[in-house]
Amino acid sequence: MNARWLAGKVGAALLTLAFVLVFNFFLFRGLGDPTTQLARLPQSSPEEIEQLKRDYGLDKPLVGQFADYVGDTLTFDLGISQRTREPVWEEIKNAIPWTLLLVGAGTLFATLLGAWMGVVAATKRGKRTDTGFLGFSLFTYAAPEYWIGIILILVFAVAVPIFPAGQQVTPGVEFSNWLSEAFDVADHLVLPAIAMTLLLLGQYFLIMRSSMVDVLTEDFITVKRATGLPWHRVVSKHAVPNALLPLVTIAAIQFGAVAGGAITIETIFSWPGLGELSFNAINDKDFPMLQGTFLVFSAGVILANLIADCLYFFLDPRVQTR
Amino acid sequence: MTGARARELLFGTWRGRFGLSVLALFILMAIFGSAIAPYDPEASSLDVLQPPSRDHLLGTTESGADVLSQLLAGARISIVVGFAAAIISAVIGAAVGLFSGYFGGWTDRILDALDNWFLVIPTLPLMVVLSRILNPSLGVLILVIGITSWAGTGRIVRSQVLTLRERSFVERARALGASHWYIIRTHIFPNALPLIFANTVLIVAVAILSEAALSFLGLGDPTQISWGTMLENAFAAGAPSAEAWWYVIPPGLCITLVVLSVAMLGYLFEEYVNPRLLEESFESTA
């Protein structure tokens, strides 16, 4: 692997992250006096506010404050949540696996389903299936994912109650073993994962479709057909592997949408991830928590982009020779 | 946007006709919606969460207000925020792309880094943070969506300007001693304008979705009804568990339809600007 190329990518990612830190710092200090947000006590005396300023290092010059902020952040000290009075990082740490589970399930299903739909549509171009898939993907692009989520609850949790309407496990149940607990979580995951899948599906499908259309018109496909290889073998053995590559790129572009979807979908389903933390922080004006979740969302998207870049590097030999 | 091909794209394809007619319908709704609403959209009554009836064609909300009236009144916010935010985004994106592509060098490096940053950072979390700090209002909604949605436009305009800059008519103007400002104004900008326009139409769709999402999360204008706030209220009032489908489906469907119509028009303009796209995308369904 080209070490210089990798160093460049990592450097760019770190620089982007550094800008997030600068942005976060100035945003929350520049647009509003942090002491009024920190105090939260309606009748704080001037002395108490002075004490708070000293406690939080707000009496130092801005550069010193920024150094403190960067130092704290690098040691995972993200402050105290104003809502729960718990350390922000503790809450975020507990929330990350749940968000990864939801996002991972959604991305996996959207990739598989989108790739399959794309292959089918491209091989049946212009036919009714193709038009139907195109219409469906446009609809899922335009429809808000939280609206779809609410309808899923109304239909599959209330009208025909086959799935739970929210949360990650059935409350108050003692599980005899980890397997039954895993099944319970999976049961709760179904509806939010469907909402996440539908959020991503349209783009994955459109990319896979156009990529397949490109590959199917290439000469080597015609040659393979001329050798008498059955059509389905030409598609599965030769066209699909070549058309899969752009999915990696689109996955990277979609990470931002995934983060946004996590906020709304977790809100709808009371899924205890980063998105629900953000939503609670919005309602309670819990600025340290909002700052923390924004930082972690951004870091996650930057990291995911970096991984996608590296994956692309390994998968496409043409990039390496450039 | 004149000429037979533009007319053909707009009126001759089902996408053009769908986009134009649905968008026109929603713009009329935005102008006259509150005037033709059968009830005061905010008026509460004792008919709480009632299904559709002759009195209330789309039923009532948790406070007994008329869903249809709220729906008609809510169109205004979507349309106003969608278009206003897209214009802000177009101005920023066009300026960044023009200067970045035309001047190159350090201007390009700095502006391109800024563009990249906004492309990578997750947009909704960024909008959420900004609107929470600035305290929600109509202006904040427009501003926040506008200043977070321009990165794609900037990127596309930049690459267009990079090729325009090398064209012979620009070199000729430069050789004749034309100023940078003059070249940008008379040669670069007019040639990039169709692209900026097509891209802005697509941003309208993104902006309408963003407004709905922010309003749904409680960051909308608290003084006005929008489709996003309707969904927020419906969800908070337990409409799903009350099976109040008449309260849940209409606002989401309106958002979906208006976004679809704008996106259709945006894709058409994009194809008009860049005919190469026509072969790749939707020709089979046109």
Can you read off the two tokens belonging to residue B201? 């139409």
Q: Tell me which chain A residue has its CA closest to the CA of residue B132.
A: A282
Among A150, A165, A297, whose Cβ lies nearest the Cβ of B125?
A297
Position with higher pLDDT, A24 vs A150: A150
Question: How many helices and strands, by DSSP H and E, does chain A display?
Answer: 15, 0
Residue B94: pLDDT above 90? yes
Q: What is the pLDDT of residue A231?
A: 81
Among A131, A279, A298, whose Cβ lies nearest the Cβ of B121?
A298
Whether residues B122 and A131 touch (CB distance < 8 A) is answered with: no
Contact B22, B260 (CB under 8 A): yes
Among B219, B234, B249, whose Cβ lies nearest the Cβ of A282?
B219
Q: Give B 113-132 residues with CB within 8 A of chain A.
A: 113, 116-117, 120-126, 128-130, 132
Interacting residues of A245 by C-beta distance below 8 A, sequence separation 6+: A211, A312, A315, A316
Q: What is the pLDDT of residue A31?
A: 56
- Tell me if chain A has a CB within 8 Å of the CB of B235: yes
> Mutate which of A20, A148, A152, A154 to disrupt the B interface (most B C-beta within 10 Å)?
A154
Alpha carbons A287 and A38: distance in angstroms, whole number: 9
What's the one-letter identity of residue A107? T
Q: What is the pLDDT of residue A98?
A: 92
Mean pLDDT across A223-231: 83
Whether residues A27 and B133 touch (CB distance < 8 A) is answered with: yes
How many CB pairs below 8 Å do chains A and B form together? 145
Q: What is the pLDDT of residues B77-86, one digit of tens each?
A: 989 999 999 9
Among A126, A285, A294, whose Cβ lies nearest the Cβ of B125?
A294
Residue B283: pLDDT above 50? no
Residue A23: pLDDT above 60? yes
- Tell me if chain A has a CB within 8 Å of the CB of B162: no
Alpha carbons B19 and A97: distance in angstroms, whole number: 42
pLDDT band of B280, cuts 50, 70, 90:
very low
Length of chain B (residues): 286
Among B128, B240, B281, whose Cβ lies nearest the Cβ of A263?
B128
What's the one-letter identity of residue A151? I
Chain A residues inside the 8 Å CB shell of B257: 142
Q: What is the pLDDT of residues A268-312, one digit of tens each?
A: 998 998 999 999 988 888 888 888 899 999 999 998 888 888 887
Whether residues B125 and A260 touch (CB distance < 8 A) is answered with: yes
Whether residues B285 and A283 touch (CB distance < 8 A) is answered with: no
Among B133, B209, B234, whose Cβ lies nearest the Cβ of A144?
B209
Interacting residues of A17 by C-beta distance below 8 A, sequence separation 6+: A298, A299, A302
What's the one-letter identity of residue B114? L
Alpha carbons B260 and B254: distance in angstroms, whole number: 10
The distance of A144 to chain B (nearest Cα, Å) reads 7
**Taking CA B179 as the corner, what is the angle to CA B174 and CA B185, rounded to the nearest 5 degrees?**
95
Q: What is the pLDDT of residues B240-271, one digit of tens each?
A: 888 888 889 999 999 999 999 998 888 888 87
Q: What is the pLDDT of residues A50-98, one digit of tens each?
A: 776 776 666 677 777 888 888 888 888 888 887 788 888 888 988 899 9
Residue A186: pLDDT above 50? yes
Whether residues A130 and B260 touch (CB distance < 8 A) is answered with: no
What is the Rg, in whole angstroms, of the alpha carbon atoms belonging to chain A? 24
Closest CA to A285 of A6, A59, A34: A34
- Tell me if chain A has a CB within 8 Å of the CB of B14: no
Alpha carbons A38 and A44: distance in angstroms, whole number: 11
Chain A residues inside the 8 Å CB shell of B263: 138, 141-142
Whether residues A16 and B116 touch (CB distance < 8 A) is answered with: yes
Residue B221: pLDDT above 50? yes
Q: What is the pLDDT of residue B284?
A: 37
Closest CA to B94 of B203, B233, B224, B229: B203
Alpha carbons B76 and B80: distance in angstroms, whole number: 6
Chain B residues inside the 8 Å CB shell of A278: 125, 128
- Tell me if chain A has a CB within 8 Å of the CB of B231: yes
Mean pLDDT across A130-149: 90
Q: What is the pLDDT of residues A32-54, one digit of tens each?
A: 555 555 555 556 677 777 776 77
pLDDT band of A267, cuts 50, 70, 90:
very high
Whether residues A256 and B234 touch (CB distance < 8 A) is answered with: no
Alpha carbons A134 and A244: distance in angstroms, whole number: 19
**Taking CA A126 as the corner, what is the angle to CA A122 and CA A131, rounded to the nearest 5 degrees?**
90
Chain B residues inside the 8 Å CB shell of A130: 284-285
Length of chain A (residues): 322
Phi, psi of A128 (to 5 degrees): -65, -40
Residue A237: pLDDT above 60? yes
Contact B137, B73 (CB under 8 A): no
Q: What is the pLDDT of residue B285?
A: 37
Mean pLDDT rounded to a whole number for chain B: 85
Share in percent of chain A as helix, strand, coil (round to 5): 80, 0, 20
The distance of B233 to chain A (nearest Cα, Å) reads 12
Whether residues A282 and B284 touch (CB distance < 8 A) is answered with: no
Whether residues A213 and B123 touch (CB distance < 8 A) is answered with: no
Number of CB atoms found within 10 A of residue A86's CB: 12
Closest CA to A261 of B209, B33, B36: B209
Whether residues B263 and A142 touch (CB distance < 8 A) is answered with: yes
Question: How many helices and strands, by DSSP H and E, does chain B display?
Answer: 13, 0
Among B132, B134, B280, whose Cβ lies nearest the Cβ of A290?
B132
Position with higher pLDDT, A270 vs A180: A270
Q: Give B 40-69 residues with CB within 8 A of chain A.
A: none
Closest CA to A41 of A52, A32, A30: A52
- Tell me if chain A has a CB within 8 Å of the CB of B256: yes
Mean pLDDT rounded to a whole number for chain A: 82
